[in-house]
Structure 1
Amino acid sequence: MDRRSFLKNAGLGAGAAAAATTLAAPAIAQATKDMVIVSTWPRDMPGLGIPAQRLAARIGELTEGRINVQYFAAGERVGAFDSFDEVASGNAQAYIGADYYWKGKHPAWAYFTAVPFGLTYAEMDAWIQYRGGQELWDELADGYGLQNFAAGNTGVQMGGWFNKEIETADDLKGLKMRIPGLGGDVMAKLGASPVSLPGGQIYENLVSGAIDATEWVGPFNDFFMKFYEAAKYYYYPGMHEPGSMLALGCNKSWLTSLSKGDQAIIAAACAEENGKTMAETNANNGVYLDKLIKEHGVELRKFSDEVYDAFGEASEAVFAETVQHSDLAARTHESFANARSEVGRWMLLADTGYTQQRNRVLGITI
């Protein structure tokens, strides 16, 4: 797939309304509800844009047209980072994106995508569904007139693309890196200059030298972005996003105007896509990592223990500042940290313990 085919609509431009796609025709005109969904992802972007479009289409399909869905990719109606305000104001009914983009409004938003040294996909699902995460998310979102649902996950992300080797923490000093969320705050503690850019603007900034490095997602997503044209060193594992949860954020007044059945359908469609996006990512990452290495000469690198220890110290400093923001931020961090410890201990015994032994016996290596 040509990178330009999914980035062509990423910027704001004239005729945006014409780019909207009506995904479900009303079954009974008098009974329909319009649902405008705006996204933080470019149209047809593999791994993020396509799942967002799939979720939008699924809502229309499952409601048999009772909800008339119009989906706008980033830049087709509003800019990627304007999606939150568009929905909170009621100008659109929902956004699909990553909630850590809104940490400037309240730092607790970061926890509902990913935070440094945070939760993996399985741990995040456990926290959200059974360890109080959804209730805290609801409390946070309600303050902005929203109701949010888990609607995708990208798993443990790569550490990022760098135009030089990162051997010690000192190599991060002065580095201009695209990295949002609390992960960006960690990099700032280590002397880097974090930059927040929507997906559609990363490539040109990396190629031009405006940034020296970028994180994005993983091999499946990153392959189509062609970052390898500007940065050859591909580092793992990413400390900043170990299980990045994506979200459908609905205008709550609009959502509660629907029947209970249609509200349940939206929740079910999100739960379905939450699993699908993760499965699609896991199915493709290994394939595209091979392509990056064998076809484009990408050099895979692992962060040293020294660098990771520096990440850890900086993360604790960031968390110490975050909990001072408000009672809600403190309670969110405490709940997250408890889940990380208690669920994480089980995952270490079960999943990690098993996969390490299985891979050792079968000789499965990177």
Structure 2
Amino acid sequence: MNRRRLIASGAAGAAGAATLVSPNLASAQPRIRWRCPGSFPKSLDTLFGTQEYLARRVSEMTDGAFQIQVFGPGEVVPALQVLDAVGGGTVECGFTSGYYYLGKDPSLAIVTCLPFGMSSRQHWAWLTHGGARDLYAEVYRDQGVVGIPAGNTGAQMGGWFRKEIKGVDDLKGLKFRVAGYGGSALQKLGVIPQQLGGPDIYPALERGVIDAAEWVGPYDDEKLGFHRIAPFYYYPGWWEYSPSVDLMVNAKAYDDLPAQYKAVLNAACTESWHWMAARYDVLNPQAMRRLLAGGAQLRGFPRDVMQACYKASQELFAEIGAQNPRFKRLHEKWDAFRIEQTQWLRVAEDSLGNFLAVQTAQR
């Protein structure tokens, strides 16, 4: 017997068997095409870039069988109407944040973030092991969608102001573009909050329709050019410690997906959540240096302003909870998790972080 021929024949047979048990995914699964409008300008290569990244990963993990075509604001629907389009079945999915739609249900604000909330690390723990996904599922179900966490900006800045904020009185009458319930808390202190989509902020600031505006942080803010109009750059963005962006999927479209595609979609969203947060952490310090070198004036909100805003936020949560049992229930669970995490990280990490910050400043 020719042993070489036998080995070659066996190897060929094994390769053929492998082919049979590992079929090409694209031919084994249906070809699906979805449309995905988003709320974030195409000029922002981290926010809109994450939307593109997510679509690319879904395609790569299915050998091109599952394609998601992405669109910027206004190409299919306006920036702040993405949830309506997805829930109504106009499109299969959308890339946006729940707090843009809190007028439909105040609990949608919790889905994204609440003032004086959690860090991105704490937020991810809440989403994955703290029970948040199950709580949020009932909120999104009423809107006809399935919400999958798909991005996080990390801690944001407090925004660009034409004049300095030296105390609480300087907030009175201020027309401020601010998202979520941060605006409602500030309204208690005399601010006139404005909710505008990303593409509309610069023109409003330029024309004097608003006096101040916040968006995300140095990298995006530099691209949007706010520093050319309002020189004072404030921190921290206490209303958006770590806002989460979701891929909102029409509930029927999600239910109709093969199980393998659902797994792919969720895995791609998890990647995208961390991809966005990490990219901002890399790009924001570089952009901050450029902004300061160009004349931007960095300011911290005075302590009395921060304390007044914290008090106003807690009052707001109590008022909303008194009117909305679901918000009250979700907020109580969210707040209990936040408090426990804050106490733990204060011992485990914040102490070291503060020490290192002092040592670095002294070098």
TM-score, structure 1 normalization: 0.90
Does structure 1 residue 334 correspond to structure 2 residue 332? yes
Aligned to 2:210: 211
Q: Which stretch of the first structure deviates more once superposed, 56-65 or 127-136?
A: 56-65
Cα distance in 2 between the residues matched to 1:216 and 1:30: 41
How far 1:219 moved relative to its partner? 0.5
**1:334-359 CA distances to partner (integer Å, 9 max, x unpaired)?**
11100110011111112211111122
Q: Is the 8 A contact 2:29 2:65 kept in 1?
A: no
Deviation, structure 1 residue 148: 0.8
Task: Render the CA deviation track for 1:28-69: whole Å, top value 9, x for unaligned.
Answer: 598212211110012241321111121122222222222222
Contact 2:26–2:62 (Cα < 8 Å) also in 1: no
Report Cα offsets for 1:181-224 as digits up to 9, x if no partner.
Answer: 10010111110100010000100110111100011011011110
Structure 2: gaps spanning 5 or more residues: 1-24
Amino-acid identity (%) = 35
Q: Which residues in structure 2 correspond to 1:1-366 (within 5 Å)?
A: 27=26, 31-294=30-293, 296-363=294-361
The residue type paired with residue 195 of structure 1 is: Q
CA distance in 2, matches of 1:64, 1:92: 23
CA contact (8 A) 2:175 2:212 kept: yes
Return the alpha-carbon distance in structure 2 between the equivalents of residues 277 and 235 of structure 1: 22
Deviates more, 1:350-359 or 1:186-195: 350-359
Alpha-carbon displacement from aligned partner over 1:282-337 (angstroms, at most 9, x marks no partner) = 0111110000010x200000111111011011101110122123222111101110
Q: Encode CA deviations 1:210-243: one digit per residue, 9 max, x unaligned.
A: 1000110110111100001110000011111001
Contact in 2 for aligned 1:28/1:65 (Cα 8 Å)? no
Q: 1:364 to 1:38 in 2, by over 3 A?
A: farther
Instruction: Give the match's secondary structure for 2:224.
Output: coil
Shift of 1:118: 0.8
Give the aligned residue type for 1:229: R
Q: 2-side partners of 1:127 and 1:85: how far apart?
A: 26
Q: Give 3-state SS (helix, strand or coil) of 1:300's partner.
A: strand
Which range moves more in the overlay, 320-329 or 250-259?
Answer: 320-329
302-311 or 58-67, which moves further after superposition? 58-67
CA separation in 2, counterparts of 1:176 and 1:359? 35
Helix, strand or coil at the partner of 2:323: coil
CA contact (8 A) 1:166 1:303 kept: yes
Q: Secondary structure at the match of 1:117?
A: coil
Cα distance in 1 between the residues matched to 2:248 and 2:128: 17
Q: From the superposition, tell whether residues 255 and 364 of structure 1 become closer, same or farther in structure 2 (CA, over 3 Å).
A: farther
Amino acid in structure 1 at the alignment position of 2:55: A
- Residue matched to 2:6: none
CA distance in 1, matches of 2:345, 2:216: 23
Q: 1:212 to 1:29 in 2, by over 3 A?
A: farther
| TM-score, with length taken from structure 2 | 0.90
CA root-mean-square deviation? 1.6
**3-state SS in 2 of match to 1:71:** strand
SS in 1 for 2:46: coil
Task: Provide the aligned length of Structure 1 versus Structure 2.
Answer: 339
- Give the structure with higher Rg (CA): 2
Residues 55, 67 of structure 2: 8 Å contact kept: no
Query: Which protein is richer in helix relative to its size?
Result: 2
Contact 2:150 2:269 in 1 (8 A): yes
Alpha carbons of structure 1 residues 34 and 349: separation in structure 2 relative to 1, 3 Å: same
Alpha-carbon offset, residue 152 of structure 1: 0.9
Aligned letter for 1:318? L
Q: Which runs of 5+ in 1 are unaligned?
A: 1-25
Partners of 2:311 and 2:254 lie apart in 1 by 42
Residues 164-184 of structure 1: CA deviation (Å, up to 9, x unaligned): 000101100000000121001
Aligned partners of 1:223, 1:361: CA distance in 2, in Å? 29
Q: Which runs of 4+ in 1 moved over 6 A?
A: none
